[in-house]
Amino acid sequence: MGMYLNLGNDGFQTVKKGLYVDKTGLIAFVNSTLGTVNKLTCVSRPRRFGKSFATKMLCAYYDKSCDSKALFEDLEIARDTSFEKYLNRYDVLYLDITWFISTWKGQVALPADEKESATWEMPGSGGNAGYKDVVDYMEKQVIGELASQYPYVKEEKSLPMALGRISETTGGKFIVLIDEWDALFREAKEDDKLQKRYIQLLRGMFKSSMTDKMIEGAYMTGILPIKKYGTQSAMTDFREYTMLSPKRLAKYTGFTEAEVKRLCETYDMDFEEAQKWYDGYSFHGAKSIYNPNAIVQAMENGEFGSYWTETETYELLKVYIDLDMDGLKEGIISMLGGARCPVDTRTFQNDMTSISSKDDVMTLLVHLGYLAYEADTKSVYIPNEEIRQEFIRAVKYGRHRELAELISASDRLLRDTLRMDSEKVMETIEKAHNTLTAPLFYNNEQALRSVIRFAYISSIDEFKEIQELPSGIGYADVVYLPKKNSSMPVMVIELKWNKGAESAIKQIKERKYSQVFEGYGSDILLVGISYDEKTKRHECLIEKYSQQ
């Protein structure tokens, strides 16, 4: 067993020893592609969505240097007709691109007079170190290991040529697994020469006359889809499965609802709370997909919360929000208020530098996991509470100070509402409406709804927010239900456009919205908020309703 050729099954053994959810159905899918025109698969997902787990699983299954039958015989793949046919039958080439980047840094020899002052700088920051030779280093390392088993490729300088010679000599084919394939595009964002050198290597392996002779199948993972040059993908033979369109692999993007329910039962955790914190990614064929890393940590720690900071920092999100592309600020605000924003994903070039519009930023945030994409409506939204908190932090500490002030004011707004101080509530809502809404969309009832939800951001600690809740003989606009063991009252908010706040309170009473809240204690706050287009004024009225 080596570092790149036939790593064995140790990685998957480690995965199975922890909290494990059976995703071996993916193996059956990959088996169905082997040796066909669909044999090249590229899967892109955010960090901590199980990409490396998948490659370790595939390595354990295909690697002919080990016997993995016992590892898989109690899992889903063992019931598939292809299980025995491909089990431990191939030479597996496993390339972790982040490994090559990190180990290459230690291999670079600087001139003696430069060693003392040399520092590693962020790619694109003007530093001279860069990553210019990392692709050559990678080829040299892999060929060196291949030569230990196949000595006749020792003098080869090209990895595709070395693989081709081995296949021609042995008559066998390789399974190629590449983890974090796009790491160079993310680390060396602005080094076009290096990126093209890397693409050249990949094309030599996967888009050449030798590909069919030496590659039985390939599975690449990354955060970004395959880079485009103009409108064309750099490697058109790959079948891509992305956060925009995971197709048949949707249920392997994260944990499904059924899987999360079973985990909550096993670990005695509240499924509804897990749903609020981590659900929200939705695809055709898999309507509820959960962040797997967050679910695992919540189950193991016995508490719900934001585990995203262990994946990314809000600093990354803040960078893109602060770009302030035309309409981006309004889009973020409306999504924080629960709305969905239309997006055109077609202009995104699948890199982190060719960002030229609001749509490009939002599409990138989908691939990074900060936004979810709904294909039917071609719109994006903030998927869950975990991500919502990251957005709040990014906005709060970003350069949009007026937004940060409104988030801070949300605490006061909640207190004023509970105190039934209609005048102060009206002032805060009016300021939020003026600050958050672009003039073009100001006179719009949906904009007012988003403003209300944004303004009450602080309520998330004590309340569960529900929009358009069926209650009585109608639908309450926005309802805040107190969480378990909370002493807070139910808050029912009704919005009116060009009508008084009194008419909003009247509607709540006449349509008997309160009937649905009988199990939530005796007090209900009825909050009527209105806006008049002619006077440009808001109005607020708050009443307490007792069910006793």
Selection from 431-435, 437-441, 492-496 with the highest mean pLDDT: 492-496
More confident residue, 401 or 236: 236
- What distance in Å separates the CA atoms of residue 514 and residue 500, rounded to the nearest whole number? 21
Query: In the structure, what pLDDT confidence band is assigned to residue 453 with cuts at 50, 70 and 90?
Result: confident
Over range 299-326, report the average pLDDT: 77
Q: What is the pLDDT of residue 127?
A: 38
Q: What is the pLDDT of residue 434?
A: 78
Over range 454-468, report the average pLDDT: 77
Total length of the chain = 548
Nearest to 5 by CA among 142, 139, 116, 104: 142
pLDDT surpasses 90 at 486: no
Contact predicate 302/263, CB 8 Å? no
List the single range of 106-110, 113-117, 131-135, 436-440 with lowest mean pLDDT.
113-117
Sign of CA dihedral 288, 290, 296, 301: negative
Over range 63-84, report the average pLDDT: 97
Q: What pTM did the predictor assign?
A: 0.82
Contact predicate 177/58, CB 8 Å? yes
Domains of the chain with bracketed CATH? 10-110+121-241 (3.40.50), 251-399 (no CATH), 421-546 (3.40.1350)
DSSP structure class, residue 418: H
Buried b (16+ CB within 10 A) or exposed e, 337-351: bbbbbebebeebbbb
Q: At what angle do helices 192-206 and 159-170 cross, to 10 degrees?
A: 10
Q: What is the pLDDT of residue 138?
A: 94
pLDDT surpasses 60 at 112: no
Q: For the chain, what percent of residues have pLDDT higher than 90?
A: 51
Q: What is the pLDDT of residue 129?
A: 47
List the single range of 223-232, 253-262, 341-350, 519-528 with lowest mean pLDDT.
223-232
Q: Which residues pair with 233 in a beta bridge?
A: 228
184-226 pLDDT, tens digit per residue, is 888 887 788 888 899 899 999 998 889 999 999 999 999 989 8
- Residue 42, H or E segment: strand 40-44
- What distance in Å separates the CA atoms of residue 101 and residue 183, rounded to the nearest whole number? 8
pLDDT surpasses 80 at 507: yes
Contact predicate 335/384, CB 8 Å? no
pLDDT surpasses 80 at 15: yes
324-352 pLDDT, tens digit per residue, is 677 787 788 778 877 789 999 998 888 77
Q: Is 244 helix (H, G, I), strand (E, B) or coil?
A: coil
- What distance in Å separates the CA atoms of residue 498 and residue 276, rounded to the nearest whole number? 34
Contact predicate 198/184, CB 8 Å? yes
Q: What is the pLDDT of residue 541?
A: 95
Nearest to 476 by CA among 520, 450, 442, 515: 515
